[in-house]
A and B are shown apart, each in its own frame.
Chain A
Amino acid sequence: MNNNEVNVQNTQAENTACQNPAQECEQKHPGFVQMMPLVDILECADNVTMWFEIPGANSSTVKIEVKEKIMSIEAESSLRRNGKTIVFKREFQLSDRIDVEHITAKTKDGVLTLTLPKSESAKVHRIQVS
């Protein structure tokens, strides 16, 4: 594997204890149903961009947290399923090569876009041979 690759790994940090996360969510937050948002992840030379589908959620209902290299995304949607509010939730383990301090996020039309810049040491430096 290329040393310059920056991994963004799915994690099950919170879900290992429970086989059925929807049930777990129900216990933690009655009246909510938890769903995993679909994601596209694009890696470029300088950063990694992630697009999450969170229909019915917007900047005021999205929570993003990075703790001990685990990034949690939680977004409460206006959509309901079986009378319960849908909460989109997903966690990723970030590599050391992500500059956590400078992650930016925006939402538009139910899509959350996260830009995770690579730390200086992880960026690709191409040297021209003269």
Chain B
Amino acid sequence: MTVEERVRAFIADNFVLASSDGGLGGDDSLMDLGVMDSTGVLEMVAFLEQDFGLDIQDTELLPENLDTINAIVRFVGRKQGSK
């Protein structure tokens, strides 16, 4: 599975609104759509750290890294590239 497919699968399995929402656009805001709340951010971070072996700092918990599927994919790519 690609990074995007793994992220989409995680969202569909874990965020209640996402599973019944049909397709989330890659640039749709997970926060603004109510898909992810602050607890969801913690779940997303735990998923990315565990499944991709990342070490995510508090300073990286930013909308530009985590608010859309495309942003998450880019963030994971940057983090993996810097390891």
Partners in one complex: no
